[in-house]
C-alpha cells in the first residue's frame, strides 16, 4: 500500500483498524497479478484508444500525484472520456455523496 498506491504509512496504519481491512487482506494475494498486468509503465494508450464508450474518469484531489496523473492519462487516452477531480477525496476513500454527485452529473448531463 505504501509502495504500490503511494499511501503514507500512517494512513495504512489507520486503515488496519477499519472494518473493511479484513476484506482487503482477503484479496491481497491478487495484487501480484494486478501488478503483473498493469505494471509500472505508462498507461496503455494504444489499448484504451479502442474504447469508444463514453467514460467518466474520477480521481480524488487528495490522492497521490501518481494516482491523479494516471487517471488523467487514462482520460486523455480514451476517445470519449471526461476527467473529474473530486475535491477533498483520496484514492479509496471517497464520500458516497461526492461520488453520486459526479456520476449524476455525468449520466444526466
For residue 55, what pLDDT band results from cuts at 50, 70 and 90?
very high
pLDDT of 43 > 90? The answer is no
Mean pLDDT of 47-57: 94
pLDDT of 30 > 80? The answer is yes
- From the list 87, 85, 60, the residue with the least C-alpha distance to 6 is 60
Mean pLDDT of 50-60: 95
* b/e code 20-39 from CB counts within 10 Å (16+ = b): eeeeeeeeeeeeeeeeeeee
For residue 64, what pLDDT band results from cuts at 50, 70 and 90?
confident
Indicate the domain borders of the chain. Answer: 1-40, 46-109
Amino acid at each position: 500500500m505504501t509502495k504500490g498506491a503511494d499511501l503514507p504509512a500512517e494512513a495504512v496504519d489507520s486503515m488496519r483498524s477499519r472494518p473493511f481491512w479484513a476484506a482487503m487482506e482477503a484479496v491481497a494475494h491478487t495484487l501480484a497479478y494486478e501488478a503483473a498486468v498493469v505494471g509500472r509503465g505508462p498507461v496503455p494508450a494504444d489499448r484504451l484508444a479502442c474504447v469508444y464508450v463514453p467514460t467518466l474518469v474520477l480521481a480524488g484531489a487528495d490522492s497521490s500525484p501518481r494516482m491523479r496523473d494516471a487517471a488523467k492519462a487514462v482520460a486523455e487516452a480514451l476517445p470519449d472520456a471526461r476527467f473529474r477531480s473530486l475535491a477533498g477525496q483520496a484514492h479509496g476513500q471517497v464520500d458516497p455523496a461526492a461520488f453520486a454527485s459526479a456520476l449524476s452529473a455525468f449520466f444526466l448531463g
